[in-house]
Amino acid sequence: MTTVTPIRSATALRTEVRTAPPLRPVDDASVVQSIVHSTVQAAIEVLAGTRPLHQLARRLDHKCLASLQHRLALIKREAARTAAPGIARLHRNSAVRSVRICDVADGIYEGSAVVVDETRVRAVAVRLERSRQVWRVTELVIG
């Protein structure tokens, strides 16, 4: 025996209004924490040579971008100059283990992250400021 599904009329279908669950308000702290996590991960990948630097151009201000570019050039130059195996493994397989943030002032957060790679554990400090409704990293210090 087969069961038959009854056919509903068009008026019955119109009366069944499906409502989406209400959206949660997003607080700045959770947004900033995810920005810090993804930015630190991306910056370490840039230093490892697995991500292009220009992908961080929208998130970092000009000073941080220039500083990261300078550090990348130093790493590449040192790797080309010496055949040290430690330089080749520097920043490889990095993962952000934890992120902490602190509200400094209205529209300004500071954060820290712990990054683990193949050879060491390092700390990263980040300062984010909101400008024109966009969070921008104004300080990025990688230990």
pLDDT by residue for the chain (143 residues), tens digit each?
Answer: 566 666 666 555 555 556 777 666 578 889 999 999 999 999 999 988 889 999 999 999 999 999 999 999 988 888 778 766 666 566 678 899 999 999 999 999 999 999 998 878 999 999 999 988 899 999 999 98
- Cα separation, 40 vs 101, in Å, equals 13
Q: Which residues contact 105 (CB under 8 A, 6 or more apart)?
A: none
- Cα separation, 37 vs 100, in Å, equals 9
The pTM is what? 0.76
- Cα separation, 39 vs 77, in Å, equals 24
